[in-house]
Amino acid sequence: MKKILLPQSAKITPKEVLEEINKFEYINKSPYSSTYYNVPEITWNYKPEGSLRISDHWNFVSHGIKHCLLAHTEEVIQNNWILAKYIDGKYQILKEFGGNVPGYRFIEINKNELELLKDLYNKEGIVNSKEWYKKYQKRPDLAKESHTKNKKVLLKNISDERLKKFKEENKDIKKVVFIEEKYMSTIQKVLTLYQKSSELDELCTTEQGINKLINTYNAYEFKSHECESFEEIFILILDNGMAIKSANITG
């Protein structure tokens, strides 16, 4: 298993924009933003004549210079997806799509992070900070830390039952590492995928196994720019780079 992608609520690219991008014979995603071109020869200072750009920001300033100028306006445009064609130094609008829409962006959790989460989850999602750092160098990214005197933070993030049980069994603890209540069920789902991943990685080693991944689990080749979803799904990325959506693994 390479990683698991965990969904987080966010504003994402409209479906119509994705469909337009997929019409490009060549897709060149900017490393700096959610911007796509239909040609490879793109720099800050050079855009090929007649090339297409689709993005949600225009007429923006970077390092004191205004970039990606629209022909019809000098106003800075944010959160408005536009497809435009580069002609004589400026972009002519071909189509407008509007702003980003509700959906999910993925955060990546690798194997090392999952091992930390697994240990913390199996301890009912709350441990003594001092003991935790004796065993590990860091806490999981999805975990928080707080002084036990900060009751406001603890009660906001941990259920009364879980916190009460921990305090009964752990006297005079000064700081704790914990999983927020809202993430407990999410992490349970992630760990179920993680447990299944070893079996699925074994299938990656043979042609017959790969066929099973495709036919039984609807595995597909994962593309790095797939960082958003309209569904609240988890995605398992296997050792060979194939991806499987959680619904196709857990039922």
The C-alpha atoms of residue 59 and residue 129 are separated, in whole angstroms, by 48
Instruction: Give me the residues paired with residue 146 across strands.
Output: 176
Whether residue 250 is predicted with pLDDT greater than 80 in this model: the reply is: no
pLDDT at 151: 87
Residue 205 has pLDDT above 70, yes or no: yes
Q: pLDDT at position 48, please?
A: 96
Distance CA 25, CA 36 (A): 12
Q: How confident is the model at residue 251 (pLDDT cuts 50, 70, 90)?
A: low
- Tens digit of pLDDT for each residue in 160-194? 899 899 989 988 899 999 999 999 999 999 999 99
pLDDT greater than 80 at residue 15? yes
One DSSP character per residue, the chain reads --EEEEEEEEEE--HHHHHHHTT-SS-EE-SSSSEEESSS---SS---TT-EEEEEEESEEETTEEES-BSS--S-EEEEEEEEEEETTEEEEEEEEES-EEEEEEEEEEHHHHHHHHHHHHTTTEEEHHHHHHH-SS--TTEEEEETT-HHHHHHHS-HHHHHHHHHHSTT--EEEEE-HHHHHHHHHHHHHHHHHHHHHHHTTSHHHHHHHHHHH--EE--TT--EESS---EEE-TTSEEEETHHHH-
Q: Percent of the chain at pLDDT above 90?
A: 87
pLDDT per position as a tens digit, 103-122: 999 999 999 999 999 999 99
User: Please, which residues bridge with residue 66 across strands?
Assistant: 61
pLDDT tens-digit readout, 220-235? 998 766 788 999 999 9
Task: Pick the more confident residue, 224 or 14.
Answer: 14
User: Can you give the pTM of this predicted structure?
Assistant: 0.80
